[in-house]
Structure 1
Amino acid sequence: MKLLRFLLAGAAACATFASVTAHAEDLSFGIISTDSSAVLKQRWQPLIDDLNKQTGLSVKAFFATDYAGIIEGMRFNKVQIGYFGNASAMEAVDRANGEVFAKVKYANGDAGYHSVLITNVASRFKTLDDVFRNTKDVNLGFGDPNSTSGSLVPGYYLFAKRNVPVNTSAFKMVLPASHEANLLAVVNNKIDVATNNTIELATLQKQHPDKYAQVRVLWTSPIIPSDPLVWRKDLPDATKEKLRNFFYHYGESDPHEKAVMAAITGFAGFAPSSNEQLRAVREIALFQQKQKIANDTQLSDDDRKTQLAALDAKLAALSGTAPKQ
């Protein structure tokens, strides 16, 4: 009887261990909401199917209505790996125990992409001067607050450098939306101007050249590093190794894999990366914070000076010019 109880206890322990192991192999892959969930699922599900088949992991796609949903999902361990933009990756690294481990490669060989400001070809806006001549008469389509190309980059390079805040005190209306929604609004002449990126424009040109012909680009940003993949730092090492082996080699030569990557907005595969690729985005974010503090009339001179000094120290640390301790 004792032997039976021992065997049953051992079997239960093995079952428990197997359950824990299986759970460690069950992952949620978060994908930022650049488009509708249906479009994103169509693009990404073939890759996730191949990921499961080649690694033995059980990975399911997770879509949220905004970028914050993916970041919070990773923060509370509901998402263990994800496709992010650089700005949302920065948030995932800082707030959700994330770590950049890969970045996408583009079929055309580009090292990154660009943010753009677009309008309809039939609109009254022919140049940037037309937009900034009287922004109070402009309806602006802006990106998700955590979008690199939809918000952070144009917020700094396009608007902050002209001392134009992105709010209804400066514009007639500001309408935050996904890249897809903003692009369609411009194509259908439902909004004056909108932020977007060259990846979405290239996809539109390929799939709907007639609609692409309705878009005029008014401004193009400096290059943005290609989008990163982020995992939770506390994933088991064995799981990380499986993910590395899959992503670092996926799409290199296999025709099916190449086709899958091409369908995800012109990607060609993935390359190793790290948190270091977020340096430029961090600098932009800090510059924006400096401008916000400098223009905050509610702060005392001493508080403003203290906060600006703290941000200057962070910028110096990023650029490697901080004094040695």
Structure 2
Amino acid sequence: MLNRRSLILAGSAAIAAPAISLAQDSRLRFAVGPFQPSPSDTRKAFEPFFRHLAERLGRPYDLVVTNDWAGISVALANGQADIAWMGPWGYVLAHHAGGARAIATVGYDGLPSYHAIILARPGLTIGSWPEGARGLRISFADVGSTSGWLIPTHYFQSRGIDPKTFFRYRDGASHPANVIAVANGQVDLATDFDRNFNGMAERGLVRRDEVRIVWTSEPLPNDPLVVRAGFDPDATAHIQEIVTAITPEEARTIMPPRYTGWVSADHESYRPIEAAGIAVGRLKAKS
């Protein structure tokens, strides 16, 4: 079980230096999902981490920023990316489609978990939740998003609600776009996750009084760092050692704000996400 203490202790681990069997001139192909409002914002925020990783491995690299969460899964499954920082549901999709493997979970404010949320216009009257929200306009994120699609879909279905018929439904938006759509009154409700909403509020992109949170999920495992199927096992082990040795102090210089390092992980860390995917019919249980 990952916890705050394990995140802090991970930063003090000494890094061994095993031989890397990748070709000396091989380029590492990194990928990252659409965490920021635009691809250029995401690249600016996340490239210092990937540069640090490539430098420690002594390899040149390319970095692709995907436009949607499902796209990064396809890149891993097709061998177009070697290593990716992605959302939990996207990882589970990549694991089922092509055998991708989680090797670390990122820490945020020292914790390895976060929450899906649903936002509403502050003046909206909802007699009871969720039954009183019938017929309202709701925006989900794209179907590769953990907190923006999978978890709220699973929640509503567990209450006997099909969101596509219960609400005036749409999906496919980015998380920042969902927040802005609620704040501007373009929709009544929208899915998001607490880290994104808090970050947007801190950067002044939205005021906290422009929206209100009407639902919060149970804790979900944070973003994994993932390697594609067949990636060199010695390199994989070394990458895991490098990232789990990043201290909170170092994270402030090479990672986006409030990310505090990594802890080792594997597929078991993401079983709850996998179970939700099976429950909503997007995955088949493995025999």
Structure 2 length as normaliser, TM-score? 0.84
Quote the Cα distance in structure 1 between the aligned partners of 2:56 and 2:95: 27
1:42 and 1:262, CA in 2 relative to 1: closer, same or farther beyond 3 A?
closer
CA RMSD, Structure 1 to Structure 2 (Å): 2.3
How far 1:112 moved relative to its partner?
0.4
Per-residue deviation, 1:222:
0.6
Q: Residue deviations 1:217-246, cap 9 Å, x none?
A: 000011101111110131223322331232
Q: 1:86-132 CA deviation, whole Å, 9 max, x = no partner?
A: 2111111111231110010122x33300000101223x245653x63
Matching residue within 162, 171, 186 for 1:165:
162
Deviates more, 1:25-34 or 1:192-201: 25-34
Aligned ranges 1:35-74 → 2 under 5 Å: 35=36, 36-74=38-76
Structure 1 counterpart SS, 2:280: helix
Aligned-pair CA distance for 1:199: 0.6
Counterpart of 1:143? 141
Distance 2:275 2:88 in 1: 12
TM-score scaled by structure 1?
Answer: 0.75
**Separation in 1, partners of 2:256, 2:34:** 19
| The structure with more helix, counted as a fraction of residues | 1
Which consecutive residues of structure 2, in runs of 5 or more, have no partner in the other structure? 1-21
Q: Aligned pair in 2 of structure 1 residues 26, 127: CA closer, same or farther (>3 Å)?
A: farther
Say if 1:127 and 1:86 are closer, same or farther in 2 by CA, change over 3 A.
farther
Q: Secondary structure, in 3 states, of the residue corresponding to 1:110?
A: coil
Aligned residues: 264
Indicate the residue corresponding to 1:241 in structure 2.
Answer: 237
Larger radius of gyration: 1
Q: 1:259: which partner in 2?
A: 253
- Structure with the bigger RCO (C-alpha within 8 Å, sep 6+) is 2
- Percent identity of equivalent pairs: 22
Aligned residue number for residue 121 of structure 2: 120
Give 5+ residue unaligned stretches, structure 1: 1-19, 293-309, 318-325
In structure 2, what is the Cα distance between the partners aligned to 1:210 and 1:30?
Answer: 28
Q: Distance in 2 between matches of 1:249 and 1:116?
A: 31
- Runs ≥4 in structure 1, deviation > 4 angstroms? none
Q: CA deviation at 1:69?
A: 1.4
Confirm or deny that 1:288 pairs with 2:286: no
Q: Deviations over 1:172-221 (max 9, x none)?
A: 23232111111111122211100100111120222117623312000001
Q: How far, CA to CA, are the matches of 1:68 and 1:288 in structure 2? A: 16
